[in-house]
Amino acid sequence: MESRSIRLAVIPGDGIGTEVVAEGLKVLEAVGPKFDLTHYDLGADRYARTGEVLPDSVLQELRGYDAILLGAVGDPRKVPPGLLERDLLLRIRFEFDHYVNLRPVKLLPGVETPLADTPAENIDIVVVREGTESLYAGTGGAMRKGTPYEVATQESINTAYGVERVVRFAFAKAQTRPRKKLTLVHKTNVLTFAGDLWQRTFDRVAEEYPEVTTDYVHIDAATMFFVSQPERFDVIVTDNLFGDIITDLGAAVAGGIGLAASGNINPEGAAPSMFEPVHGSAPDIAGQNKADPTATILSVAMLLDHLGLNQEAARVEQAVADDIVERLAGWGSRTTHEIGDDIAARVSGGA
């Protein structure tokens, strides 16, 4: 019996977003299972043409897919800064309740890291960042704006429900990894109300996972350890803001923005999860066939894994790892298309 094909919404976006997504789809095609693709034109170009960012009808349609693949959106010449972040990316994350933002920080053999003398196996971290609360919830306000007496507040929202569900996800994730270690990263000594809720929740859920070793590190110390002792970490669970910052640092130590993948996940599947490279639309190199599509291809691997296609995901990851070793062997600079072709060929067993 033929199985139902998987319905995938594709949002290439702007700039190199369209270029890297094309290569991600090439690899997806090579991996085997049938995907039914629908492209959505969203981002700076659409905004410049029509003034629309994310029409309600499109949001409704997106709900019907099994998953979403996004390239990158934004173009400083066409759209005011922050508009697409808030009204497109954050809106999808909130509306689809993507309460887990999953970002692997893994140094692949052959990739250069700015950390001297760090063997690849020392950097293998999964950051589980809370995606819907904290300072990003958008609560607060301003009064006497524009006067010397202006007051601005931005509140950090932390709910027992919201903290517990992401902490549970992180423990379950740690349980599946060889080291089975979970570190809570926060700032409990100063952010006493939010920190207390996170710490108590973490400790309570820990009792259900006796095999998982637990640890706590303040966010400021964590930035130091990411550089000085990255092997200290296995899985990290943290709030939205701290997770945002530490994953950029993670991308830097694990070989840069061209390799960093991410998933915005609704673990229960109540709405589609969205997978995307961490980088933006890179207007400086857009249209030049220069962008590294690897972050997008690794995001495709995360998407496959999320859909339960674990073997297919592993094949894509292995193809990327093998390709990277060849880069070290001196393949020199390849174009976006060439990297996509080479990885796709490995996935289908060619190269």
Residue 70 or 309 with smaller CB distance to ligand NAI: 70
Q: Does 282 bind ligand NAI (CB under 6 A)?
A: yes
**Catalytic (active site) residue 220:** yes
Region of residue 227 (phi > 0: left; psi between -120 and 50: alpha; otherwise: beta): alpha
Q: Are strands 35-39 and 6-13 parallel, antiparallel or unpaired?
A: parallel
199 neighbors 186 (Cβ within 8 angstroms): yes
Q: 113-117 — which CB contacts under 8 Å span 24+ positions?
A: 113/253, 113/254, 113/255, 114/252, 114/253, 115/227, 115/230, 115/253
Residue 234 or 276 with smaller CB distance to ligand NAI: 276
Size of the site for ligand NAI (CB under 6 A): 21
296 neighbors 259 (Cβ within 8 angstroms): no
Interface pick for ligand NAI out of 258, 263, 267, 272 (rule CB under 6 A): 258
Residue 272's Cβ-count burial label (10 Å; 0-12, 13-18, 19+) is: buried
* Tokens (6 digits) for 193: 């109300």
Stretch that binds ligand NAI, among 28-36, 124-132, 150-158, 276-284 (CB under 6 A): 276-284
- The entry of Mg ion, ligand NAI, none near residue 119 (CB within 5 to 8 angstroms by kind) is none
**Catalytic (active site) residue 149:** no
**Of the listed 244, 292, 341, 342, which one is catalytic?**
244
Interface pick for ligand NAI out of 102, 246, 253, 291 (rule CB under 6 A): 291
Residue 167 or 282 with smaller CB distance to ligand NAI: 282
**Of the listed 65, 124, 187, 323, which one is catalytic?**
187
Q: Does 6 bind ligand NAI (CB under 6 A)?
A: no
Stretch that binds ligand NAI, among 1-9, 67-75, 114-122, 171-179 (CB under 6 A): 67-75
**Of the listed 26, 75, 136, 341, which one is catalytic?**
136
Q: Interaction with ligand NAI in 217-256: which residues (CB under 6 A)?
A: none
Which residues, listed in sequence order, are joined to residue 184 by a DSSP beta bridge?
216, 237
- The entry of ligand NAI, Mg ion, none near residue 89 (CB within 5 to 8 angstroms by kind) is ligand NAI
Give the DSSP per-residue string, 223-238.
HHHHHH-GGG-SEEEE
- Dihedral sign, Cα of residue 253, residue 259, residue 265, residue 267: negative
Stretch that binds Mg ion, among 212-220, 243-251, 283-291, 318-326 (CB under 5 A): 243-251
Interface pick for ligand NAI out of 245, 249, 257, 351 (rule CB under 6 A): 257
Q: Does 115 bind ligand NAI (CB under 6 A)?
A: no
**Of the listed 196, 203, 215, 248, which one is catalytic?**
248
**Catalytic (active site) residue 341:** no
Q: Does 284 bind ligand NAI (CB under 6 A)?
A: yes
Among residues 111, 104, 107, 23, the alpha carbon closest in space to that of 325 is found at: 111
Q: CA-to-CA distance for 180 and 171, rounded, in angstroms?
A: 9
307 neighbors 32 (Cβ within 8 angstroms): no
Q: CA-to-CA distance for 127 and 306, rounded, in angstroms?
A: 16
Q: CA-to-CA distance for 245 and 222, rounded, in angstroms?
A: 11
Q: Does 24 bind ligand NAI (CB under 6 A)?
A: no
Shortest Å, Cβ 260 to ligand NAI: 9
Binding site for ligand NAI (CB under 6 A): 16, 20, 72-76, 89, 257-258, 276, 279-285, 291-292, 295
Which residues are the active-site residues? 136, 187, 220, 244, 248
